[in-house]
Amino acid sequence: MDSKVWVIASGKGGVGKSTLVSVLSVIFAEKTMKTLVIDADIGLRNLDLLLGLQDKILYELYDFVNGRCTIEDALVVHSDYPNLKLLTVGQEAREDDFNAEELKMIIETLKSDFDIILIDSPTGIGKGFQNLLDLYDECILVSTPDVVSLRDVEKTASVINSKRRTSPYLVINRVDLTSESAEKIAQALDICLLGAIPESRKMHDTMLSGAPVTKCGDSAVIEALNIIASRMRGKEAPAKLEENNSLFNKIMRIFKGGA
Ligand SMILES: Nc1ncnc2c1ncn2[C@@H]1O[C@H](COP(=O)(O)OP(=O)(O)O)[C@@H](O)[C@H]1O
Ligand SMILES: [Mg+2]
């Protein structure tokens, strides 16, 4: 398998980006893939907490670019998965401390040591996100099924389309399987749907407890996450979602200006 760099981004915050990145990283690590997760949320890191690595971070990418450590020093090895490493960009850094060319060179260097790299992008379309636009192979936009979050996805996708030839993928999170059709939403946005993750109290509670989400006991969530992971690895898996046009029609009205 070719090593790929994935950026996971969103227009709106709080939609489940970091949750998705942390869970996918564990799924890949469990499949013995050499996995690197990068928390690119400058000044607001949280993947260390979600992965239970908050006490293990001695150096960040910001220290490396300032000559205070080697890049190896900044890679934090997961306690349970030796093939899973975390790189945080910088708790004390600011967006202007990094530039796109420098980040691209660093990622290119790291790429040969890993099977997959997942980058948790800063929310929105600011400089932190723009710095990542030139360095990834694939991008996933995460959204909840509400119109505000979906409109921000549409805006983010148009920024991507204007800078890159490839389109992003869409993951819709916190879906109510009885009332939404993720596939229809993706069609309305003209973005390829990679998967839809159900709303799950069990997953939320498991994240809060610090236990791995893969052990949350919610089979619908685990199945949805495994479908996304296998599609990212280039394998086909069936998407199971019920059809319902109500939200689709609402979104169509909003995007076509007929609300
Ligand atoms: N499918 C889901 N079901 C229930 N809660 C979720 C789900 N996905 C994420 N959450 C919760 O939503 C909150 C925000 O998630 P987070 O990953 O931090 O979002 P982001 O990184 O996009 O800001 C967290 O409390 C997380 O546990
Ligand atoms: Mg986050």
Q: Which residue has the higher pLDDT, 179 or 22?
A: 22
Q: What is the distance in angstroms between the CA of the first residue and the CA of the last residue of the chain?
A: 46
Atom of ligand 1 nearest to the CA of 22: 17
Q: How far apart are CA 60 and CA 192, in angstroms?
A: 34
Best residue among 8, 10, 15, 19 to mutate for probing ligand 1, ranked by most atoms within 8 Å of CB: 19
Amino acid (one-letter) located at 162: S
According to CATH, the topology of domain 4-255 is Rossmann fold (3.40.50)
pTM score above 0.85: yes
Residue range 113-122, pLDDT digits in tens: 999 999 999 9
Q: 66 C-alpha vs ligand 1 centroid, how far in Å?
A: 33
244 — pLDDT class (breaks 50, 70, 90): very low
Which band of pLDDT confidence, cut at 50, 70 and 90, is reported for residue 242? very low
Q: Which range among 19-28, 35-44, 117-126, 177-186 shows the weakest confidence by mean pLDDT?
A: 177-186
Q: How far apart are CA 26 and CA 30, in angstroms?
A: 6
Segment holding 158, helix H or strand E: helix 147-163
Compute, in angstroms, the gap from residue 212 CA to the centroid of ligand 2. 17
Summarised one tens digit per residue, pLDDT across range 136-151 is: 999 999 999 999 999 9
Contact by Cβ (8 Å): 48, 88: yes
- Asked if 153 contacts 11 with a C-beta cutoff of 8 angstroms, the reply is yes
pLDDT at 164 over 60: yes
